[in-house]
Copies of this chain bind each other. A is one copy, B any other.
Amino acid sequence: MVNGAENQSPHHVAIIGGGFGGLYAAKALGNAPVQVTLIDKRNFHLFQPLLYQVATGTLSPADISSPLRAVLSNNKNTKVLLGEVTDIDPDAQKVILRGEEVTYDTLIVATGVSHHYFGKDEWETLAPGLKTVENALEMRRRIFLAFEAAEKETDPEKRRAWLTFAIVGGGPTGVELAGAIAELAYSTLKKDFRNIDTAETRILLLEGMDRILPPYKPELSAKAAASLKKLGVTVLTKALVTNIENHVLTVKQGEQIEQIPARTILWAAGVKASPMSKVLNQRTGVELDRVGRVIVEPDLSIAGNPNIFVIGDLANLSQDGKPLPGIAPVAMQEGEYVAKLIEQRLAGKPAPPFRYLDFGSLAVIGRNAAVVDLGYVRFTGLLAWLFWVFIHIYYLIEFDNKLIVMIQWGWNYFTRKRGARLITGNESLGIVAVDVNGDYYVPGESKSTVEV
């Protein structure tokens, strides 16, 4: 079956991926004289910057997700297709899915990146990353199960391992996770346990570089580190994880090697291009960078294929000698740029190369604390936190009215409660309980200890 371009006339734009890049491109093409097909394997757009709040029990997945069909329902020229792209054929101008094909005149690839375990793929189950809703629920399950297991554990050493949380990677995600877990342990859960004192929880943030938030200005990194310290987080810089085995993390700092027993290890380091980049490389010969991202032309198209664009985290483009960071604002601007460029081309007009307008960077550290760097001004603390809240609400509201999130945050702020701290899973498959030996098991099954 061949979808799209059923009637010959309108120019057909196929977009692969409904993240910030793909969705902003689709939205910007809503009134253009084109047909649009947005293909995603999930039926919703995920507001990834807030995924750590799902992982730590503040928000629910639906609070930060918008159904793609709903977001685009008023764009009459746009179709949403739920499916997984397995290949492309640039000569025939076709995208190949399971059992179906979509022809295109212009193709936009925006499939993003996943985590990179520096060649240690076996660490993925030991230290889950945070890219999908399922990742976040897995983190949430592990975090809250760890406190449950500690409550049951009588051996002080083992209990300490359950109460040790190690976050690998000191970028914004790692910083935000560490801050949120600190609030959980030292505030939210304080009165909930009878055998353990959650104040004994140890939270480690490990960063390989010499400071956390390396892309930020050094003084902001220092302020963020100070805020984390105040919250109770131990920040280790120049710290490389060399092994994860038997619930022990091996960390190398300079010449010093430390073995840290930690039952909960969360991964917030390294990126790896999604499989579409290899497909593009094989089909078009386009060059990939070290982590597999696609090296794009100044107009975000790929060499030799002016009608194929790569945007968002999957694209590698340098500006003023520095590669653009893999963050939502870059993806959004790229999506809008390509939409505009397609319209210009159809009108026979030239388009200038893409230029990213940096409005600044920000990271939240915990209740009342964040760092904001707008380039011309930098600030930290409560003001930065309020700024962070405002920006995130603003973008969430753009899609679907997520006022509810603001109310939830307001409520959490005043009560310090976290209503979403459920341990869930697929009961027939998942891990939802922990026995007195600290082994995970599946309730209802005789004895199926699961190794994580």
Contact partners of A100 in chain B: CB under 8 A: 152, 435-436
Interface stretch, picked from A20-28, A254-262, A312-320, A422-430, is A422-430
The reply to whether B417 and A43 form a contact with Cβ atoms under 8 Å apart is: no
The reply to whether B1 and A154 form a contact with Cβ atoms under 8 Å apart is: yes
The reply to whether B424 and A134 form a contact with Cβ atoms under 8 Å apart is: yes
Most buried by B among A83, A419, A443: A419
Contact partners of A152 in chain B: CB under 8 A: 81-83, 100
Interface stretch, picked from A62-70, A204-212, A279-287, A354-362, is A62-70
Oligomer: number of copies:
2
Per-residue 0/1 for A36-54: is the Cβ within 8 Å of any B Cβ (1 yes, 0 no)? 0000011110000000000
The reply to whether A134 and B425 form a contact with Cβ atoms under 8 Å apart is: yes
Known: A134-B424, A433-B83. A404 touches B401 (CB 8 A): no
Known: A61-B422, A424-B134. A148 touches B74 (CB 8 A): no
Answer yes or no: A441 CB below 8 A from chain B CBs: yes
Answer yes or no: A158 CB below 8 A from chain B CBs: no
Answer yes or no: A103 CB below 8 A from chain B CBs: no
Per-residue 0/1 for A405-421: is the Cβ within 8 Å of any B Cβ (1 yes, 0 no)? 00110010001010111
Complexed CA–CA distance, A82 and B432 (Å): 10
Complexed CA–CA distance, A415 and B423 (Å): 31
The reply to whether B436 and A62 form a contact with Cβ atoms under 8 Å apart is: no
The reply to whether B83 and A43 form a contact with Cβ atoms under 8 Å apart is: no
Known: A61-B60, A192-B69. A430 touches B426 (CB 8 A): yes
Known: A417-B70, A432-B41. A422 touches B82 (CB 8 A): no
The reply to whether A411 and B403 form a contact with Cβ atoms under 8 Å apart is: yes
Taking a contact as CB atoms closer than 8 A, the residue among B81, B423, B426 that contacts A43 in the complex is B423
The reply to whether A419 and B41 form a contact with Cβ atoms under 8 Å apart is: no
Answer yes or no: A120 CB below 8 A from chain B CBs: no
The reply to whether B133 and A424 form a contact with Cβ atoms under 8 Å apart is: yes
Contact partners of A407 in chain B: CB under 8 A: 404, 407
**Complex A-B: 15 CB contacts under 8 Å:** A42-B422, A43-B423, A61-B422, A67-B192, A69-B192, A73-B191, A82-B148, A82-B423, A97-B436, A100-B152, A134-B424, A400-B417, A401-B415, A402-B419, A403-B411
Question: Which A-B residue pairs are the 9 nearest by beta carbons?
Answer: A60-B60, A62-B420, A69-B192, A99-B436, A98-B435, A73-B191, A84-B443, A41-B443, A100-B436
- State the A residues within 8 Å of B (CB): 1, 41-44, 60-63, 65-67, 69-70, 73-74, 79-84, 97-100, 132-134, 144, 148, 151-152, 154, 189, 191-194, 400-404, 407-408, 411, 415, 417, 419-427, 429-430, 432-437, 441, 443-444
